[in-house]
Amino acid sequence: MSFRKLSLGLAAATMLAGTALPAFAQDSIYVPLFTYRTGAFAGSGTYIADGMHDYLQMLNQRDGGIGGVKLVLEECETGYDTKKGVECYESVKGKNPVLVNPWSTGITLPLIPRASVDKIPILSMAYGLSASARGDIFPWIFNPPSTYWDGLSMIIRYIGEKEGGLEKLKGKKIGFIHLDAAFGKEPVPLLQELAKDIGFEVALYPVAAQDMQNQSSQWLSARRDRPDYMVMWGWGSMNGAAVKEAVRSGYPMDKFYSVWWPSEDDARAGGAGAKGFKMLNWHAVGANFPALQDIQKHVVDKGLSKSPKDKVGELLYNRGVYNSLLIAEAIATAQKVTGKKVVTGEDVRRGLENIKLDPARLKELGLEGFTEQLVLSCSDHNGHRPAFMQEWDGAKWVKISDPIEPMTDRVKAQLDAAATDYAEKNAGWPKRTEPCDNAS
Amino acid sequence: MDILYKVFVEPFVFMGEAPDLLIQTLWEGLVSGVLYALIALGFVLIFKASGVFNFAQGIMVVFAALILVGLYEKGVPAFLALILAALAMLVLAVVVERVVLRPLVNQPDIILFMATFGLTYLLIGFGELIFGGNPREMITDALLLPQGTTEIDALGGSVRIQHLDVAAAVIASLMIGLLAVFFSKTRIGRALRAVADSHKAALSVGISLNQIWVIVWFAAGLVALVAGIMWGARSGVSFSLQIIALKALPVLILGGFTSIPGAIIGGLIIGVGEKLGEFYWGPLVGGGIETWLAYVIALLFLLYRPQGLFGEKIIERI
């Protein structure tokens, strides 16, 4: 190859590489969004991705960004695959992201030790490692508003109250059907601990990723074991298939509970028989909020969203909105705390520790009544907020309970032990040296 | 001793104590087995005619089902959508023959196998581009597939039979029967068998390899469409369905890659075996064993019949 051809080739390659990279001006804030619009989990991931993107895009369109600084949004498709997720992280970390949302417990786990090294906060909203709620041990990891352990304890508390008190669960059997992955196994240690303390029996029904749509064995086993209640920790197409199988196998749907991840589509999959299926939730469903109407006006109507109009306001869409509400609030708070307009990952970590989403602030943001208040601090990166129970009525989710407090008294000791254990097992785990603006 | 009791005695005692659950497990296994057989059949048809292990068979199941549901959502009547979906599989067969198979004639089998890998990812990307990644519901009502459950009180308990499962078993059996007749009694079927025996000999008597390949890929596409409808009706249509197609691998190992009866019997053995294994022995190790149990069953059979149950016994003299 001649020198001329080589030079031309190199020049072309450089130009191509240059055009492939988005331009990040010094006067913008880079927010990567890890999403999965493809693969077996796209049924959950797409709505969340739309909600996340549209709220931040709305801020760009309506307000010119946050504090007058434009947000540069870039999606990285993980396919809910841990390996691809880590590749996404590696590809964005050089572009000064202010935070990363892995949107997978499996992806979150390998990022936990990297966050403090790269100075990039990880926001694993209501998923990830429950123990990372301890801000003194995990200063770079945030998992508000509730951990999986909180979620499980809320379900147990709820069904305990249905039975007439937690002690009435003694001798009962609780089936736990879960994705056989880091996410699905996360609450198992607490479930077993609670079973020991309270005296109920646990039957585990793991569902391998490749069998998410082939669950007849699990539900046959449930028929054999006759659990008094079934609790589900599922994701993607597992949820809809589980609802279908539960209906097929004749399991009483009013005894079937889930953590906060099934969507309307998942419940609809069970047809009329799915009535009575219950799940936890901590935010509103529907688009009747000024902020969501602004999304409709500034993003969806202008063709800047990938979401169909009728999906705006559905459960997982709003879950994505909630996630971006936290991102935006962390950035706005970081701007306030540091006095800077263009903030960095280190600033946003401080912003997250100072988040105070009270009713007044939610009203100001056009989300009055959308969710419970959330206050984070240096030591509490979660908030351990209550959630409520909602029930599928055959057409929509209906809120059926007041906020259910997590069993903090039972969970906290376990969570502290798990956090300490994590630090001990990972030799050289750094002691927190990051400054604290909000110790309370 | 306790473990020996739990492995070798307790499950059988339980079978005797709760025969209704045994019947239910066998039924669920049979239904799964028929559907595994249907998917395996798609692999066998193509392997017989071209010696290619078509890795794309799983995504063809999803693709066919998505075309059907997608057309229906666009307002096309269900049975017209069904015909159009079948035609789409014909178009796919022609394109595959022209673009993938024909240029690779006389290449080693592994090249063709790798080409079907490429085809898999192409179809995944193309499918997600057109239909999006969201799961859809199969149009069960519009296709007049029966729904509901019959609960039969028997053997001191009850057995629940889903009408859809009965329909799946009947339709899959009919499909298998029709294909068996087509390939054994018709001129094209005989041509296919000739191609399967020897490409060169078939060519020498005037059989068009290209035409045969289109026919078998189309037949595999039709099988994929039926499998997609049945699995989709059971658990929704999503891209994760293609992973279920991997369940056909142990079926093929067991039944042999070239045998239609092998795919059927293999499917049933794997379906029933994995359900029995998961139900009666799974709890001993915390459950979740059916994913790999199918392979263990297939490998155990291979110890005694390395060519599979109905596979061709290869005798090479040195």
Alpha helices per DSSP H over B56-108: 57-73, 78-95
| Extended strands (E) in A5-149 | 28-35, 70-77, 122-123, 141-142
Looking at the structure, do residues A277 and A170 belong to the same domain, yes or no? yes
End-to-end alpha carbon distance in chain A: 67
Distance CA B138, CA B143 (A): 9
Summarised one tens digit per residue, pLDDT across range A3-35 is 455 555 555 544 444 444 454 556 899 999 999
Looking at the structure, do residues A276 and A193 belong to the same domain, yes or no? yes
- The whole-number average pLDDT for the span A47-55 is 97
Residue B107 lies in a domain: yes
List residues of chain A with CB under 8 Å from any CB of chain B.
Answer: 36-43, 45-46, 180, 204-218, 220-221, 223-224, 236-237, 240-241, 244-245, 248-250, 265, 268-269, 271
Q: Where residue B140 sits, what CATH number does that domain have?
A: 1.10.3470
Looking at the structure, do residues A241 and A154 belong to the same domain, yes or no? yes
pLDDT, averaged across chain A: 92
pLDDT computed for residue B318 by the predictor = 67
End-to-end alpha carbon distance in chain B: 50
Hey, is the C-beta of B13 within 8 angstroms of any chain A C-beta?
no
Q: Taking phi first (over 0 means left), then psi (-120 to 50 degrees means alpha), and beta for anything else, what does residue B206 get?
A: left
Q: Where residue A257 sits, what CATH number does that domain have?
A: 3.40.50.2300
Hey, is the C-beta of B17 within 8 angstroms of any chain A C-beta?
no
Q: Tell me if B287 and A218 make a contact (CB, 8 A cut-off).
A: yes
Smallest CA–CA distance from A181 into chain B, residue: B288
Q: Which domain holds residue A206?
A: 148-281+388-408
Best B21, B129, B235, B239 member to test A by mutation, with max A CBs in 10 Å, is B235
**Coil, strand or helix: which one is A24?**
coil
- Alpha-carbon distances, residue A76 vs A59, A83, A102 (angstroms): 20, 13, 10
Q: Which uninterrupted H or E stretch holds A151?
A: helix A148-163
Residue B242 lies in a domain: yes
- Rounded CA Rg of chain B: 21
Smallest CA–CA distance from A178 into chain B, residue: B288
Residue B312 lies in a domain: no
- The whole-number average pLDDT for the span A147-157 is 96
Distance CA A362, CA A291 (A): 10
| Extended strands (E) in A333-373 | 356-357
Residue A440 lies in a domain: no
Q: Tell me if A208 and B291 make a contact (CB, 8 A cut-off).
A: yes
Residue B245 lies in a domain: yes
Q: Tell me if B160 and A236 make a contact (CB, 8 A cut-off).
A: no
Choose among A27, A38, A20: nearest CA to A78.
A38
Q: Which domain holds residue B238?
A: 2-304
Structural contact between residues B244 and B87, judged by C-beta atoms closer than 8 angstroms: no
Q: Tell me if B243 and A224 make a contact (CB, 8 A cut-off).
A: no
Distance CA A382, CA A217 (A): 36
Residue A434 lies in a domain: no
Choose among B182, B178, B177, B208: nearest CA to B195.
B208
Q: Which uninterrupted H or E stretch holds B166?
A: helix B163-185
Hey, is the C-beta of B275 within 8 angstroms of any chain A C-beta?
yes
Q: Which residues pair with A72 in a beta bridge?
A: A30
Summarised one tens digit per residue, pLDDT across range B32-51 is 999 899 889 889 888 888 77
Q: Is the ipTM of this complex over 0.90?
A: no
Option in B25, B135, B235 nearest A220 (CB): B25
pLDDT at A397 over 90: yes
Looking at the structure, do residues A213 and A353 belong to the same domain, yes or no? no
Best B24, B159, B239 member to test A by mutation, with max A CBs in 10 Å, is B239
Structural contact between residues A334 and A347, judged by C-beta atoms closer than 8 angstroms: yes
A115 is written with which tokens? 């966050």
Smallest CA–CA distance from B278 into chain A, residue: A217
Distance CA B312, CA B188 (A): 22
Option in A217, A245, A250 nearest B290 (CB): A217
What total of structural domains would you count in chain A? 2
Residue A143 lies in a domain: yes
Choose among A144, A154, A149: nearest CA to A404.
A154
Q: Tell me if A217 and B247 make a contact (CB, 8 A cut-off).
A: no
Comparing B183 with A414, which gets the higher pLDDT? A414
- The whole-number average pLDDT for the span B6-13 is 91
Choose among A152, A46, A45: nearest CA to A103.
A45
Residue B256 lies in a domain: yes
CB contacts, 8 Å: A206 with chain B: 286-288
Residue B46 lies in a domain: yes
Residue with tokens 């089902």: B65
Chain A nearest-CA distance from B18, in A, is: 9
Summarised one tens digit per residue, pLDDT across range A58-108 is 999 999 999 999 999 999 999 999 999 999 999 999 999 999 999 999 999
- The whole-number average pLDDT for the span A283-310 is 96
pLDDT computed for residue B200 by the predictor = 81
Backbone angles phi, psi at B302, to 5 degrees: -65, -30
Looking at the structure, do residues A254 and A210 belong to the same domain, yes or no? yes
Distance CA A208, CA B313 (A): 35
Distance CA B194, CA B49 (A): 9
A354 is written with which tokens? 């100072």
- Alpha-carbon distances, residue A4 vs A10, A12, A17 (angstroms): 10, 12, 20
Give this prediction's pTM. 0.85
pLDDT at A278 over 90: yes
Summarised one tens digit per residue, pLDDT across range B144-200 is 999 888 988 887 788 989 999 999 989 988 888 888 888 888 888 888 888 877 778
What total of structural domains would you count in chain B? 1
Structural contact between residues B224 and B64, judged by C-beta atoms closer than 8 angstroms: yes
Distance CA B136, CA A314 (A): 16
Residue A318 lies in a domain: yes
pLDDT computed for residue A253 by the predictor = 97
Distance CA A187, CA A183 (A): 8
Q: Which residues pair with A178 in a beta bridge?
A: A206, A233
Burial state string for A276-302 with b = 16 or more CB within 10 A and e = fewer than 16? ebbbbbbbbbebebebbebbbebbbee
Hey, is the C-beta of B149 within 8 angstroms of any chain A C-beta?
yes
Looking at the structure, do residues A264 and A346 belong to the same domain, yes or no? no
pLDDT computed for residue A21 by the predictor = 45
Looking at the structure, do residues A273 and A290 belong to the same domain, yes or no? no
Residue A105 lies in a domain: yes
Looking at the structure, do residues A300 and A234 belong to the same domain, yes or no? no
Summarised one tens digit per residue, pLDDT across range B221-246 is 999 999 999 989 988 888 888 887 78
| Residue B316 CB-density burial (10 A; 0-12 exposed, 13-18 middle, 19+ buried) | exposed
- Rounded CA Rg of chain A: 22
Distance CA A228, CA A221 (A): 13
Looking at the structure, do residues A137 and A194 belong to the same domain, yes or no? no
A81 is written with which tokens? 């695959």
pLDDT computed for residue A106 by the predictor = 93
pLDDT at A277 over 70: yes
Q: Work out the angle at residue B299's Cα, subtended by the Cα atoms of residues B109 and B198, and round it to the nearest 5 degrees.
A: 30
Looking at the structure, do residues A161 and A226 belong to the same domain, yes or no? yes
Looking at the structure, do residues A249 and A317 belong to the same domain, yes or no? no
pLDDT at B123 over 80: yes
Hey, is the C-beta of B284 within 8 angstroms of any chain A C-beta?
no
pLDDT at B316 over 70: no
- Alpha-carbon distances, residue A240 vs A270, A388, B210, B251 (angstroms): 7, 21, 42, 27
Option in B18, B240, B274 nearest A212 (CB): B240
Residue B316 lies in a domain: no
| Residue B113 CB-density burial (10 A; 0-12 exposed, 13-18 middle, 19+ buried) | middle
Looking at the structure, do residues A253 and A326 belong to the same domain, yes or no? no
CB contacts, 8 Å: A236 with chain B: 238, 240
Comparing A261 with B105, which gets the higher pLDDT? A261
